[in-house]
With several copies, the nearest count.
Chain A
Amino acid sequence: MHFRDALSSSTTVTVTVRAFARYAEILGLEETTLELDEPATVSDAVKLLRSSIPNGSRLPERPLVAINREHVLAETPLQDGDELALLPPLAGG
């Protein structure tokens, strides 16, 4: 029962979303907060951003992403308090 409670839609995770370079230009913001029903993955967060933020649909469906300053895959689950970063194609060096 307790397990089921934890997965119910009443539990949410809140993440900080950061956007850089051309993604920051597209969205017109560098940082925002997103609340998602648990369990949520990076992919769920991107879907929500693409549908709920002005110009969000101009983001790619599978952008490069980092959680807490480490590259991660789209399937990675989000935890409350995570810093989710949307990274345009890299151009270091």
Chain B
Amino acid sequence: MSFVTRQPIDGAALLAQVADPGLGGTALFVGSVRRGKEDGPVEAIEYSAYETMLEEEFGRIVTEIRSRWREARVVGVHRLGRIPAGEISIAVAAAAPHRAEAFAACRHAIEEAKKRLPVWKKEIFQDGSEAWRDNESRLA
């Protein structure tokens, strides 16, 4: 399955993808476009990416997780294009035999995704103005 989508993300679909009767704990993280306050109300964010690298880089993250938490199953999806405030931009799910590994693998996936994925966002404010925004420029 592709890591990239241009459609609304369904968190429950990710839960279903990692579900396994041998895996008792599943952690799911979903990141949404925040309405925001710092620069004014955000109407939407336009996400763009280096798509071929994005797929490969997330694949490498998954491979790393599987080598560290051998029984874990991990999936993720990143939406690109214009995403209205309140809608999901990224989701990652990890299932493992027990909850500690599920949380650790899920957390690892999202932290590495934030650090490494070649994705950029332009905030579109309610007054129509736009601004590039990166994960360093404000608390993300």
Contact = CB atoms under 8 A, between A and B. Distances in A.
Given A21-B48, A88-B132, A88-B134, A93 B120 contact: no
B119 A85 contact: no
Interface in A1-51: 18, 20-22
B50 A85 contact: yes
B119 A90 contact: yes
A93 B119 contact: yes
B132 A93 contact: no
- Determine the interface band of chain A, counting residues with CB < 8 A from chain B: 10 to 19
A17 B73 CA distance: 36
Chain B interface extent, by class: 20 to 34
Given A89-B136, A93-B140, A21 B120 contact: yes
Contacts of B121: 91
B117 A93 contact: yes
Interface in A66-93: 66, 69-71, 85, 87-93
B132 A92 contact: no
B71 interface: no
Contacts of A93: 31, 78, 89-90, 110, 113-114, 117, 119, 135, 140
15 contacts: A20-B49, A20-B50, A21-B120, A66-B118, A69-B52, A85-B53, A89-B136, A90-B116, A90-B119, A91-B120, A91-B133, A92-B118, A93-B90, A93-B114, A93-B119
Interface of B: 31, 48-50, 52-53, 56-57, 78, 89-90, 110, 113-122, 132-137, 140
